[in-house]
Amino acid sequence: MATVGTLSSTPIPDPLVHPDFDGAKALGTSNTLEKVSFDPFKHLNHTPPSKVYSMEELGYPESCGVSPNGVSEPFPLFSAEAIQQMRKEVLSDEVFAKWKYSSELAQCQLRGYAADCAPFIYDTWKHPETLAIISKIAGVDLVPAMDFEIGHVNLAVYSEEEKNKALNEMVEKANRATDEGVSGCPWEDDDPIVDWHTDSYPFVCVTMLSDCTGMIGGETALRKGNGEVVKVRGPQMGYAVILQGRYIEHRALRALGGSERISMVTSFRPRASLIKDDTVLTTVRPISDLGELYLQFAEYRFEMLQDRLRDANKLMRDQQRARRPFDTLRLKQFIREQIEFLEHMDKEIVQDDKVVAGMVDDSHLISEELKLERSKKRRVAVA
């Protein structure tokens, strides 16, 4: 991918949510929620993606993830009515008052609210038909990673002035790039908010809740195993993209030209307890209610462990009944794997006083260069 990193220009403003931003009022939604129950016949509007790129096509060894499927093209998932209902729940006063998180990477994220006060969104992502669609595209049977991760929302609102400024910057940059004979997308590599990284959870489903007509950018750039960069279009309203984000290096490209951009990111893990779970909490610890996050993480991992121990017991008994020799080596290997499973949990559950709210550490970043740059920026900010 060609870059325009050598061109100098003032950075395009980051998506901005004003401190006094009132979600419901600013985006013209009502706080009076009439109760709508999720109905798959009414609210799912699914057409399979035109293409699902395999891990192999992306140059990753199939064994590196939990599925042979890597990423989908955007596909229609929800009806207009479902999206309107989700917007109403997400932009309610209660969600903003109780579940809004900010970090150095994003000024407004709504997290963990679904079980508490967004029944439609919660039921949508828990419904067997929704999960069947997601699982089919992912190529592995999936469930939401944890309730806390149902319906994570990234929200950016631009004033008319910011919107125009960003667009002008982009046009100016594009012109300069043409003048100087540099090709490539002019907006995509300008001090990215989040650089190349892998996600905390095995799979994500990104759903668009905003009308993206007239917006430019918003794609996801993926780094293939051989270093080559490819882009997947961002979803339009009601559409979704599924990505095996824990294993594929990616970064979000800026979207310009809209007045709001609300995307919902729901994270998933394999349903089967036998499949490996490489979930980390790196990117989510600083933007979570730690008690809730740790409880849910420990709860599902302990359930996995219970299933595994129960299955191991059954296998040992069955083998003995069938007069097979005892497989000592297999037992030792199983024990070792579960020790590693618990050690992994211990590492991810960082003592509360060592987690700084809003500060994501650098372990999710791939590029050493970017880690250095970020630590320099932090030093300047402290000084």
Note whether 260 binds Fe ion by CB under 5 A. no
Q: Which CB atom, from 199 or from 348, has the smaller least distance to Fe ion?
A: 199
Helix (H) or strand (E) holding 69: strand 69-72
d(CA 195, CA 209): 23
Q: What are the C-alpha distances in Å from 65 to residues 85, 96, 206, 270, 365?
A: 34, 35, 19, 11, 18
Stretch that binds Fe ion, among 54-62, 239-247, 253-261, 296-304 (CB under 5 A): 239-247
Distance of closest approach, residue 29 Cβ to Fe ion, in angstroms: 27
Residue nearest to Fe ion (CB): 199
Q: Which stretch binds Fe ion (CB under 5 A): 151-159, 164-172, 242-250, 309-317?
A: 242-250
143 bridge partner residues: 269
The C-alpha atoms of residue 354 and residue 88 are separated, in whole angstroms, by 36
Q: Which is nearer to Fe ion, 92 or 263 (CB)?
A: 263
Q: Give the nearest distance from C-beta 354 to Fe ion in angstroms.
A: 24
3-state secondary structure of 72: strand
User: What's the CA gap between 179 and 191, in Å, rounded?
Assistant: 22
- Which 168-207 positions form the footprint of Fe ion (CB under 5 A)? 199
In angstroms, what is the minimal distance from the CB of 198 to Fe ion? Answer: 7
Question: Smallest distance from the beta carbon of 259 to Fe ion, in angstroms?
Answer: 24
Of 314, 240, 293, 303, the residue nearest 271 (C-alpha):
303
Relative to beta strand 203-208, strand 260-270 is antiparallel
Kindly write out the interface string for residues 363-382 of this chain, putting x where it contacts Fe ion by CB under 5 A and - elsewhere.
--------------------
Smallest gap from residue 108 Cβ to Fe ion (A):
17
Q: Kindly give the pairing relationship between strand 229-232 and strand 255-256.
A: unpaired
| Piece of 179-187, 223-231, 241-249, 284-292 that binds Fe ion (CB under 5 A) | 241-249
CB of 230 to Fe ion, least distance (A): 15
Whose Cβ is closer to Fe ion: residue 14's or residue 39's?
14
Nearest to 114 by CA among 321, 281, 265: 265
Q: Tell me the site size for Fe ion, rule CB under 5 A.
A: 2
Question: For residue 290, is it left (φ>0), alpha (ψ between -120 and 50) or beta?
Answer: alpha
Task: List phi, psi (to 5°) of 229.
Answer: -110, 130
Task: Report in angstroms how near the CB of residue 83 gets to Fe ion at its nearest.
Answer: 22
| Cα 154–chain centre separation | 10
Question: Closer to Fe ion at the Cβ: 245 or 258?
Answer: 245
Q: Pick the closer one to Fe ion by CB: 60 or 96.
A: 60
Q: Which two tokens stand for residue 127?
A: 């419904």
* Shorter beta-carbon distance to Fe ion: residue 149 or 199: 199
Q: Site residues (CB under 5 A) for Fe ion? A: 199, 245
